[in-house]
Amino acid sequence: MIKIDKINTAEALRYMCAADAADPILIQKVEATAAELLKIIKPVYTYKIFPIEFSESGILLSGTSLVLTGKSAREHFSGCHSVIAMAATLSGFADRFIQTAEISDMAKALIADSLCTAAIEQVCDIAESEIMSALPKENYYTWRFSAGYGDLPLDIQPLILRVLNAEKVIGLTINDSLIMLPRKSVTAFIGISDRPIEKKRKGCALCSMCKSCQYRQKGTHC
């Protein structure tokens, strides 16, 4: 289990589109809600490392039936010999906190949802750092790449969880609508290379939400 001592409230306010207009009362409520969440969330993650093979159909994770299809993944993992497949979750306690708040205080529910989104990214950052610290120092890595980025389809999510045995290891499942449960969860791939990797831009064009993104509508980005 990962321990985080503080949730990035500034990032949560940005998710709420309130970073530039947050009043003291809102900031106080965000800080108070963050303190509540830190007492109950139980962040965990799991990962496996797979050698990869490039083929016409996509990038095959050796020993599995999981193939990363599309141009985006092929470009992102170009030059890599392996990938780290990882999954992380804040646990069902985060979901229940948000659901309880929705009954009586929708503003608090929105704050909690944004805080949990910020928190799961922090968990992924910590997990990534821990994973890399256990691997050879001469490795080079890509940034995290998830299903839904570019043309890598979301419908591979069930197979990702299956190859990671995520339900048994961290209690992470997925429903028929491809929604992960607990909801505040992330899966991602990190490429491993034995030579420097060109750092590809995390552009909005890679995101499956780029056409409906609230940040882009406001002239900014996530």
Digit-coded pLDDT (tens) for 163-188: 999 999 999 999 999 999 999 999 99
Segment 16-43 shows an average pLDDT of 91
Percent of the chain whose pLDDT exceeds 70: 89
Segment 32-59 shows an average pLDDT of 97
Q: Other C-beta atoms within 10 Å of 143: how many? A: 14
Is residue 209 classed as helix, strand or coil in its secondary structure?
A: coil
Complete DSSP assignment for 113-171: HHHHHHHHHHHHHHHHHHHHHTS-TT-EEPPPB-TTBTT--GGGHHHHHHHTTHHHHH-
Give the confidence band of 216 by pLDDT, cuts at 50, 70, 90.
very low
The pLDDT score that the predictor gives to residue 198 is: 79
**Which residues, other chains included, contact 157 with Cβ-Cβ below 8 Å and sequence gap of 6+?**
147, 174, 178, 180, 187
Query: Any idea which fold 9-54+66-217 has?
Result: NADH Oxidase (3.40.109)
Segment 106-128 shows an average pLDDT of 97
The yes-or-no verdict on residue 72 having pLDDT over 70 is yes
- Mean pLDDT, the chain, as a whole number? 91
Digit-coded pLDDT (tens) for 25-36: 999 999 999 999
Segment 140-163 shows an average pLDDT of 96
d(CA 220, CA 216): 5
- The answer to whether 161 and 174 are in contact (CB under 8 A) is yes
**Which residues, other chains included, contact 30 with Cβ-Cβ below 8 Å and sequence gap of 6+?**
9, 12, 13, 22, 111, 115
Give the confidence band of 221 by pLDDT, cuts at 50, 70, 90.
very low
d(CA 29, CA 31): 5
**Prediction pTM value:** 0.89
Segment 136-154 shows an average pLDDT of 96
The yes-or-no verdict on residue 218 having pLDDT over 60 is no
Segment 63-75 shows an average pLDDT of 96
Environment class of residue 217 by beta-carbon count within 10 Å: exposed (0-12), middle (13-18) or buried (19+)? exposed
d(CA 59, CA 87): 19
The pLDDT score that the predictor gives to residue 1 is: 83
